[in-house]
Amino acid sequence: MLNPLVIIGLIIGITIHEFAHAFVADRLGDPTARSQDRISLNPLKHLDPLGTIMMLFVGIGWGKPVPIDPYNLSHPRRDETIIALAGPFSNLLLAIILSLISKFFNFNSSIIFIIIFINISLAVFNLLPLPPLDGSKIFLNLLPVEKAIEWEKAFARYGYILLAAILFLPMGNGNIINSIITPIINLIMSFLV
């Protein structure tokens, strides 16, 4: 089972992330998240039961995805990209704010460090261009429509397999995902902490 401080950090990070998606979707004209009471900082609204159990016992989990209806958006491709970016951006923003508070008030604690680290990790991880991560939506919406359709079909076939492979296949002293995102996380951490 994970360290309780890590669990608290993950709950805060996932809640902020999913709240940001819901809030931005609502602001861009899609009331779907509002109708499901997802514009909330209550963690219970955003934690997926299976994702939470996996997080507690395996160390890899997920939140409940925020539903959006692109037909409610004025500019669906642009707005979906903004909504997808909102989650990782909120994690980075929280990490920056906590870092500034920590430095300004000379307040160093394990929980602050853990929350900063987890939020940076969530932001970087979610920007990978693999489904169901936010990066896949961003990537698809930046492509021309025809190419996006081709990639979406490939993602439907192989995206989850690729994600599982990078999460679980070993590489060096860890797994593939650690080799990809750890240098980026460490670079951002070096600026903030």
One-letter amino acid identity for 119?
N
Secondary element (H or E) of residue 174: strand 174-175
- Do 118 and 147 touch, CB atoms closer than 8 A? no
One-letter amino acid identity for 12?
I
Count of CB atoms situated within 10 Å of the CB of 24: 23
Phi, psi dihedral angles at 63 (to 5 degrees): -95, 175
Count of CB atoms situated within 10 Å of the CB of 165: 14
- Do 155 and 116 touch, CB atoms closer than 8 A? no
Calpha distance 134→69 (Å, rounded): 16
Phi, psi dihedral angles at 57 (to 5 degrees): -105, -25
Calpha distance 32→38 (Å, rounded): 9
Token couple for 110: 């394990």
Which of 18, 80, 146, 150 does the annotation list as catalytic? 18
146 in catalytic set: no
Residues labelled catalytic: 18
